[in-house]
A and B are shown apart, each in its own frame.
Chain A
């Protein structure tokens, strides 16, 4: 299947200034407690006052990112909506669960239960855009967004007349989620400034993050700056399997490693996956600029959405901000990007993103 996914528009609500145009990394946001929370957007812009009152944080963030992406694409209503989320609305799940325990199953409020359903953001965006087409939710941990994109790629290749797909992902960080997952070293025991994440590769875990990242995808180029050409998912690969995966991805696109202008590396500072990060870094040719992003987004199962948004941003601006440079290469303009994400459970996803 060789269906390019043209990125017609994108939207990110993240711990950085990504939502308001032209303000990216001005200033750079960081934290000292291991938790990077999103910068709130103007949620009332897309959500009615009646609806917004009962809506939880993640729904507001997810719906706003999705609707903003649709608006900037110029598409009135997408033909399909596909979303990935590892945990859905964590706050709603926590609230309903703890209320149920505390109130001994009496007099519960159904709002949190409904909103904790993993496809609730899908349902809301479908309602708001009157999109009665295909609607799907992937909940497969670190591959939630990747499966979303694979589905979109299949759908655009099928002869169904589908032209525009809203694809995206979101995940939420809460103090309780962080506390629980820190116990199994998803997050680091020690605290430090988040921008120094990669100085802490000697201990297990990463820093917590969250965000919603949406993309309008099409099989027609339109005004897209770039397109995703290859999506690969590697289940807990060895370093050898990772190298083989990279070579396959490049070969599928007729590219050599020297053709890669930017490697977007989703390394996460976790000692348990350091060998994968090292393999990725060592696979790059000297001319390739290596960039990182989890010091800005934090680690979450759909953090690859932030990385993909950043790829699109690089193609749009043809500039690589200093704050994401891990090692400067020589190649300009940016024509080919290899995006590799390492998840907290040791899986790797890979995309080849190319200039239109």
Chain B
């Protein structure tokens, strides 16, 4: 039997806090991180609820032993560094200095969170000295390079941007690189900070709910944007065993397919999503009935939840396993969504729990299935499925199995 790819460490920061324990506590108490805006400077801030990380940039910097103020690190990078630090606190850092190692990150708008505040100065005739150090932070790779430099990684680095499936793709790429012998280990994930750019982008698309989002609810009215970062260390099971590392979960299947249907909307009957989930299950050698929990993409937009709900029903039938969107806890964290939800799946496997789909009240009339609206403890979960679907028809499904 081929060597399996296992997850041996994770790091996370979201609106629920930093680290696994903070996520677990909030989820067990049904406490959402989505709420009033504290940090994002937007004219819409008073009207919206967002999944904002509670720490300010200076607080994040201080926790990382970085200087505060205009230190050249955007919030995108600070969040990613925080999640990386969380991961590295639990693992052997010398592993990362080995040659056959990949660092794969993902984001959607790079350092836009900073650039949107200083752009007119940056694009003007003269740029203030304090802004010059951010001048080249607008692209996606900037934060990847900053993180690599901060932790002294000179190995293979890559940045992916496929909208809301970005960090799921990062994990999948790492697994493929290990299987092909390109590297032995990889840290994969990504991060996105809240920005006015993204908030206004989704708002003009009429995709944003100003009140807490209600995935898979008949009365859903759009998403809440959030921010987060997460990373997973993956390696071959044999290598993990050899170094005595604890295996958190097995990455048993993955698939990347494209809807080839519309620029921003999924195919309404969910054909694309069915194909993605099916391909990932086939790779894991599993039947739909083997899946004990589905962490849905579940953005709470009209389009996504209809397409995804139909797809789950089509593939799993009316007796679908418990499924939920965890976005009411965190907001839709865009490029980070895939990886933090992968981490929630690993938590579900380890804790044998189904994370509730908050804010669900009324069944969708198009569906005969509804999400798990309350926490289920002592569940029997051997395999979990996680969906991430993005603009451009970019779909990824991941399957995790018990170690």
Cβ contact within 8 Å between B180 and A122: no
Cβ contact within 8 Å between A139 and B258: no
Q: How far is the CB of A221 from chain B (nearest CB, A)?
A: 21
Which residue of chain A has the shortest Cβ distance to B136 in the bound complex? Answer: A184
Q: Which residues of B contact A93 (CB under 8 A)?
A: 138
Docked pose: A138 CA to B104 CA in angstroms: 10
Cβ contact within 8 Å between A120 and B391: yes
Pick from A131, A132, A134 the residue with the most CB of B within 10 Å. Answer: A132
Q: How far is the CB of A52 from chain B (nearest CB, A)?
A: 14
Q: Which residues of A contact B201 (CB under 8 A)?
A: 96, 108, 110, 113-114
Report which of A108, A129, A179, A180 forms a contact with B204, defined as CB distance below 8 A.
A108
Per-residue contact bits, chain A 115-153, to B (CB 8 Å; 1 contact, 0 not): 001111011101101111111111111010001001100
Pick from B136, B161, B275 the residue with the most CB of A within 10 Å. Answer: B161
Report which of A117, A133, A151, A155 forms a contact with B392, defined as CB distance below 8 A.
A117
Any A CB within 8 A of the CB of B122: yes
Which residue of chain B has the shortest Cβ distance to A124 in the bound complex? Answer: B263
Pick from B43, B180, B262, B390 the residue with the most CB of A within 10 Å. Answer: B180
Docked pose: A81 CA to B244 CA in angstroms: 39
Q: How far is the CB of B125 from chain A (nearest CB, A)?
A: 9
Interface 9-mer from B21-29, B152-160, B340-348: B152-160
Q: Which residues of A contact B176 (CB under 8 A)?
A: 151, 154-155, 158
Interface 9-mer from A97-105, A275-283, A306-314: A97-105
Cβ contact within 8 Å between B260 and A105: no
B residues 135-165 with Cβ under 8 Å of A?
A: 135-136, 138-141, 144-145, 154, 156-163
Any A CB within 8 A of the CB of B364: no
Report which of B159, B179, B204, B275 forms a contact with A113, defined as CB distance below 8 A.
B204
Docked pose: A122 CA to B181 CA in angstroms: 27
Cβ contact within 8 Å between B263 and A120: yes
Q: How far is the CB of B108 from chain A (nearest CB, A)?
A: 7
Q: Which residues of A contact B120 (CB under 8 A)?
A: 101
Q: Which residues of B contact A117 (CB under 8 A)?
A: 108, 161, 163, 391-392
With contact pairs A100-B200, A101-B116 given, residues A151 and B173 touching in the complex (Cβ less than 8 Å): yes
Q: How far is the CB of A99 from chain B (nearest CB, A)?
A: 9
Q: Which residues of A contact B263 (CB under 8 A)?
A: 114, 120, 123-124, 127
Any B CB within 8 A of the CB of A86: yes
Per-residue contact bits, chain B 107-141, to A (CB 8 Å; 1 contact, 0 not): 01000100110011011000100001001101111
Cβ contact within 8 Å between B169 and A136: yes
Per-residue contact bits, chain A 163-195, to B (CB 8 Å; 1 contact, 0 not): 000000000000010011101101000000000
Q: Which residues of B contact A184 (CB under 8 A)?
A: 132, 135-136
Q: Which residues of B contact A109 (CB under 8 A)?
A: 204
Docked pose: A93 CA to B161 CA in angstroms: 15
Cβ contact within 8 Å between B258 and A183: no
Pick from A108, A133, A141 the residue with the most CB of B within 10 Å. Answer: A141
Q: Which residues of A contact B163 (CB under 8 A)?
A: 117-119
Q: Which range contains the number of A residues in contact with the other chain?
A: 35 or more
Q: How far is the CB of A165 from chain B (nearest CB, A)?
A: 13
Any B CB within 8 A of the CB of A233: yes
Report which of B177, B197, B205 forms a contact with A154, defined as CB distance below 8 A.
B177
Cβ contact within 8 Å between B390 and A119: yes
Any A CB within 8 A of the CB of B264: yes
Cβ contact within 8 Å between A123 and B141: no
Q: How far is the CB of A231 from chain B (nearest CB, A)?
A: 10
Per-residue contact bits, chain B 384-402, to A (CB 8 Å; 1 contact, 0 not): 0000001111100000000
With contact pairs A114-B263, A120-B391 given, residues A176 and B160 touching in the complex (Cβ less than 8 Å): no
Docked pose: A87 CA to B275 CA in angstroms: 30
Q: How far is the CB of B282 from chain A (nearest CB, A)?
A: 11
Q: Which residues of B contact A132 (CB under 8 A)?
A: 257-260, 272, 275
Any B CB within 8 A of the CB of A157: yes
Q: Which residues of B contact A118 (CB under 8 A)?
A: 108, 140, 161-163
Any B CB within 8 A of the CB of A21: no
Which residue of chain B has the shortest Cβ distance to A345 in the bound complex? Answer: B145
Q: Which residues of A contact B260 (CB under 8 A)?
A: 126-127, 129-132
A residues 171-227 with Cβ under 8 Å of B?
A: 176, 179-181, 183-184, 186
Q: How far is the CB of A93 from chain B (nearest CB, A)?
A: 8
With contact pairs A87-B139, A180-B135 given, residues A138 and B160 touching in the complex (Cβ less than 8 Å): yes
Q: How far is the CB of B277 from chain A (nearest CB, A)?
A: 14
B residues 252-273 with Cβ under 8 Å of A?
A: 256-264, 272
B residues 193-229 with Cβ under 8 Å of A?
A: 196-197, 200-201, 203-205
Docked pose: A117 CA to B393 CA in angstroms: 12
Docked pose: A154 CA to B158 CA in angstroms: 15
Any B CB within 8 A of the CB of A50: no
Cβ contact within 8 Å between B158 and A147: yes
Per-residue contact bits, chain B 180-199, to A (CB 8 Å; 1 contact, 0 not): 11100000000000001100
Q: Which residues of B contact A235 (CB under 8 A)?
A: 154, 157
Q: How far is the CB of A94 from chain B (nearest CB, A)?
A: 8
With contact pairs A96-B197, A135-B393, A139-B139 given, residues A119 and B162 touching in the complex (Cβ less than 8 Å): yes
Cβ contact within 8 Å between B154 and A123: no
Q: Which residues of B contact A97 (CB under 8 A)?
A: 112, 115-116, 119, 197
Which residue of chain B has the shortest Cβ distance to A235 in the bound complex? Answer: B154
Cβ contact within 8 Å between A100 and B139: no
With contact pairs A108-B204, A118-B108, A184-B135 given, residues A135 and B162 touching in the complex (Cβ less than 8 Å): yes
Q: Which residues of B contact A143 (CB under 8 A)?
A: 157-158
Any A CB within 8 A of the CB of B42: yes
Per-residue contact bits, chain B 78-94, to A (CB 8 Å; 1 contact, 0 not): 00000000000000000
Q: Which residues of A contact B43 (CB under 8 A)?
A: 104-106
Q: How far is the CB of B231 from chain A (nearest CB, A)?
A: 17
Which residue of chain A has the shortest Cβ distance to B135 in the bound complex? Answer: A184
Q: Which residues of A contact B122 (CB under 8 A)?
A: 180
With contact pairs A100-B196, A118-B108 given, residues A123 and B44 touching in the complex (Cβ less than 8 Å): no
Q: Which residues of A contact B144 (CB under 8 A)?
A: 140
Q: How far is the CB of A80 from chain B (nearest CB, A)?
A: 9
Docked pose: A244 CA to B264 CA in angstroms: 46
Q: How far is the CB of B219 from chain A (nearest CB, A)?
A: 24
Extra pairs beyond A100-B116, A140-B140 (7, CB < 8 Å): A108-B203, A113-B201, A126-B259, A127-B393, A135-B394, A139-B141, A140-B158
Question: Can you list 19 A-B pairs with a CB-CB distance of less than 8 A?
Answer: A1-B180, A86-B141, A97-B116, A100-B196, A100-B197, A106-B43, A117-B391, A117-B392, A120-B391, A126-B259, A126-B260, A132-B260, A134-B256, A135-B257, A137-B162, A147-B158, A151-B176, A180-B135, A233-B156
> Which A residues form the contact surface with B (CB < 8 A)?
1, 81, 86-88, 93, 96-98, 100-101, 104-106, 108-110, 113-114, 117-120, 122-124, 126-127, 129-141, 143, 147, 150-151, 154-155, 157-158, 176, 179-181, 183-184, 186, 233, 235
